[in-house]
């Protein structure tokens, strides 16, 4: 079975600080995809990024960056110069070849990290 | 605009009164899924559908039904709601049901309270 662990339940930072959200995953698959979603206070789930297991290049998108390390099964998410609008719950998710039935690839979510950015 | 829509967004009901939460997507996606989100438990899959008339159980299907008569719609039915079904529900869709790389896009959520 596959598993995603987000050990940080809640994090608080002061605006403009950098913050890293940790994600550790477990899977027996050699091919898998990792995702990050953002859930702002309004409640919707916003897709942020997808990475495949064969591409360990780090990715940067504006103030967001992602560090994928296969050796430690981690896919950490860093927000640079945090802003109040970054306050949200962030979910890491894994999709591998573990079938949940009828050929569907199971998407497993971590329990989320609540980030509060204080002005 | 490409999107997944859900209705209603908020619902308060009483135990035993049948209800349906609708989900619709305009992206011609084959795969659709329902999740529930509960504090401390993250998101758990209820049911999913690989295509029209093809549905299957997720991790927590008890007390729920679904149907997929049209590609764009995937309603979630609670025949006899109970208080333990009070939750935040999300519908999601993705293009290819068998693509491990496929990204699921989520609707805005439906907050259901069963008294």
pLDDT digits (tens, 9 = 90+) for A10-58: 999 999 999 999 999 998 888 888 999 999 998 899 989 988 888 888 8
Q: Which two tokens stand for residue B42?
A: 């993250």
Sequence length of chain B is 115
Q: What is the pLDDT of residue A101?
A: 47
Q: What is the mean pLDDT of residues A66-86?
A: 95
Q: What is the pLDDT of residue B97?
A: 55
The Cα–Cα gap between A37 and A49 comes to 7
Q: What is the pLDDT of residue B98?
A: 55
Please judge whether B90 and A97 are an interchain contact, meaning their C-beta atoms are less than 8 angstroms apart.
Answer: no
The separation between CA B68 and the C-alpha centre of its own chain, rounded to angstroms, equals 11
Q: What is the mean pLDDT of residues A103-111?
A: 76
Q: Which two tokens stand for residue A74?
A: 């981690």
pLDDT of B81 over the 60 cut: yes
Contact between B43 and A91 (Cβ < 8 Å): yes
The Cα–Cα gap between A7 and A17 comes to 20
Contact between B91 and B106 (Cβ < 8 Å): yes
For A34, the closest chain B residue by CA position comes to B101
Which of A61-75, B48-62, B91-105: highest mean pLDDT? A61-75
For B36, the closest chain A residue by CA position comes to A109
B39 at interface of A, judged by CB pairs closer than 8 A:
no
Which chain B residues contact residue A46 at CB under 8 A?
A: 106
The Cα–Cα gap between B14 and A79 comes to 43
């Amino acid at each position: 079975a596959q598993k995603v662990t987000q050990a940080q339940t809640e994090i608080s930072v002061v605006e403009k600080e950098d913050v890293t959200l940790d994600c550790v995953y477990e899977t027996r698959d050699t091919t898998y995809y990792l995702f990050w979603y953002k859930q702002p206070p309004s409640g919707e789930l916003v897709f942020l990024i997808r990475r495949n297991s064969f591409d360990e290049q780090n990715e940067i998108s504006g103030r967001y960056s992602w560090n994928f390390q296969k050796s430690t099964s981690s896919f950490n998410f860093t927000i640079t110069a945090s802003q109040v609008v970054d306050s949200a719950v962030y979910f890491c998710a894994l999709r591998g070849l573990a079938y949940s039935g009828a050929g569907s690839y199971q998407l497993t979510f971590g329990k989320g990290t609540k980030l509060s950015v204080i002005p | 605009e490409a999107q997944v829509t859900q209705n209603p967004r908020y619902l308060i009901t009483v135990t035993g009164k049948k209800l349906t939460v609708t989900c619709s997507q305009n992206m011609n996606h084959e795969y659709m899924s329902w999740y529930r989100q509960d504090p401390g438990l993250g998101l758990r899959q209820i049911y999913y559908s690989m295509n029209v008339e093809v549905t299957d159980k997720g991790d927590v299907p008890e007390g729920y039904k679904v149907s997929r008569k049209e590609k764009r719609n995937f309603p979630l039915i609670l025949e006899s709601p109970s208080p333990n079904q009070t939750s935040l529900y999300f519908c999601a869709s993705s293009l290819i049901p068998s693509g491990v790389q496929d990204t699921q896009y989520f609707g805005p959520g439906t907050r259901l309270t069963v008294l």
